[in-house]
A = this chain, B = another copy of it.
Amino acid sequence: MDENRRSYLKKDFVQGFPAFCGFEVEYVEFGRFGTRLNVREIHRQQDGFVHAGVTATMADHTAGYASFTTAPEDYRVLTIEFKINYLRPARGDILVCRSNVIKNGRKIKVVESDVFSIVEDEEIAVAKGLFTQTAVRLNNP
């Protein structure tokens, strides 16, 4: 993957709501994107676990950028829909997400995201999501 494109996607990832949440990029490859979150109090829900919405946002945003790596430079990626299963409560202080494009259509992309909580150096699978996204050409000015 082109190094300029990789740098662009790394920077582009961290803005707006994802920046507000504090997600960080770990790796960028063609069809693959990895991210990380240092969990703080603001990410938790009423019972002390990471909120389902944080996990869903991380899984969605990482999936979007996995799709992004496969799209031409003048395209953007929008989520059409997704489904996520919560496998275990996320108790640890670090969350990692790995997204892989499993169907790289020209218009329709299907992506899997796996989210893990790191507890005592072990990765615990906490959520799995399946995303349908579309790559759309940017409007010309």
By a beta-carbon cutoff of 8 Å, the part of chain A in contact with chain B is 12, 15-21, 41-47, 51-54, 56-58, 60-61, 64, 76, 78-89, 102-103, 107-108, 110, 112, 125, 128, 130, 132, 134
Q: Which of A16, A18, A47 has the most CB of B within 10 A?
A: A16
Query: Is B46 touching A20 in the complex (CB atoms < 8 A)?
Result: no
What CA separation (Å) do A89 and B58 show in the bound complex?
Answer: 19
Q: Which residues of chain B come closer than 8 Å to A52, judged between CB atoms?
A: 57, 60-61, 64, 79, 82
Query: Is B84 touching A82 in the complex (CB atoms < 8 A)?
Result: yes
Closest to A49 in B: B78
Which of B57, B83, B89, B108 is within 8 Å of A53, CB to CB? B57
Query: Is A42 touching B56 in the complex (CB atoms < 8 A)?
Result: no
Once A17-B44, A81-B86 are accepted as A-B contacts, the answer to whether A56 and B60 lie under 8 Å apart by CB is: yes
Q: Which residues of chain B come closer than 8 Å to A76, judged between CB atoms?
A: 46-47
**What's the nearest-Cβ distance from chain B to residue A40, in Å?**
9
What CA separation (Å) do A46 and B15 show in the bound complex?
Answer: 7
Query: Is A53 touching B56 in the complex (CB atoms < 8 A)?
Result: yes
Query: Is A81 touching B132 in the complex (CB atoms < 8 A)?
Result: yes
Once A16-B41, A102-B87, A130-B85 are accepted as A-B contacts, the answer to whether A80 and B108 lie under 8 Å apart by CB is: yes
What CA separation (Å) do A16 and B49 show in the bound complex?
Answer: 10
Which of B17, B103, B112, B132 is within 8 Å of A51, CB to CB? B17
